[in-house]
Amino acid sequence: MKRFLILLLLASPLYATEYNPWFSPLWEFQGRFSYFYDKEKTVQSPKGNFRAPSNDYTLRGSLGITPWPYWNAEVELFFTHTSDIPFSYEAAYGTIRYQWLDDIRGDPFALVTGLTLSFPGNRYLHDFSFTYHGEVNGELHVTIGKEWACRDDWWMRAWALGGWGIANQGSGWLHGIAALEFQPGCFQWSLFSEAIYGLGSNDIIPNQNPFVGFALIDHRTVNVGAIVGYDIGCLGTLSLLGWYNAYARNFVQHSWGLGATFLVPFSL
């Protein structure tokens, strides 16, 4: 019980959404606590690239649980400091997912559908580094995956997500993730790519101040990255990650970032 209360006190910074299609054990809580650094310099626009340098520092965390067979839920909070915005509330997220198929139980693959809602702070709607479209953002997503086991645990798995989102204003967006993961012994390795495709029709106007946001922008971004994690036994898993922007249109280009995440599973 004491460990649970400590985690609640630490749960104000919350971590990015869990999308992989394999759920934690029934009634096992999973707390994630993270620190990220992002570096941005220029914004790509068909009307002309321009400089928008920023150094972003983010504390994130989440508390997830599988409260019922085939159901998983997660809540998150993000707190961020940028070159223009002092350390403050960035966004709150809530996700609920349902598992239709599970290859661990004998199905040919894992299949999960879900809904994620996010509620960003107003200042982050007008920052080039953040893809929020409105005060309320909703995304429906489906994830498919496959594990390959060795004895009692998996040694390799692959999964992919496709999502469609809409906000309380503007046009929607498409969201995709592909990941390949390995688990040799106490280590976990992951290679991933993530893409977001805004369905608006407008271009970013260079040096527009204030920036009106991405709700009507034809924005696109593709990031690639890698994660290495180490299992610290009953204490949890420590992961280090890095990513780089490989493609951008009407968005920050050639940005990069580093981060560290600590995953703590626990039960009451």
End-to-end CA distance of the chain: 6
pLDDT digits (tens, 9 = 90+) for 37-52: 999 999 999 999 999 9
Q: What would the CATH number be for the domain defined by 2-261?
A: 2.40.160.40
pLDDT digits (tens, 9 = 90+) for 98-121: 999 999 999 999 999 999 999 999
Percent of the chain surpassing pLDDT 70: 94
The residue extents of the domains of the chain are 2-261
Contact yes or no for 30/64 (Cβ under 8 A): yes
**Measured between alpha carbons, how far is 164 from 174 in angstroms, rounded to an integer?**
5
Please give the single-letter amino acid code of residue 86: P
**Measured between alpha carbons, how far is 48 from 69 in angstroms, rounded to an integer?**
52
Q: Which helix (H) or strand (E) holds 221?
A: strand 220-231
pLDDT digits (tens, 9 = 90+) for 157-212: 999 999 999 999 999 999 999 999 999 888 999 999 999 999 999 999 998 888 99
User: 27: alpha, beta or left, given left = phi > 0 and alpha = psi -120 to 50?
Assistant: left
Check pLDDT > 80 for residue 93. Answer: yes
Percent of the chain surpassing pLDDT 90: 87
**Measured between alpha carbons, how far is 17 from 175 in angstroms, rounded to an integer?**
13
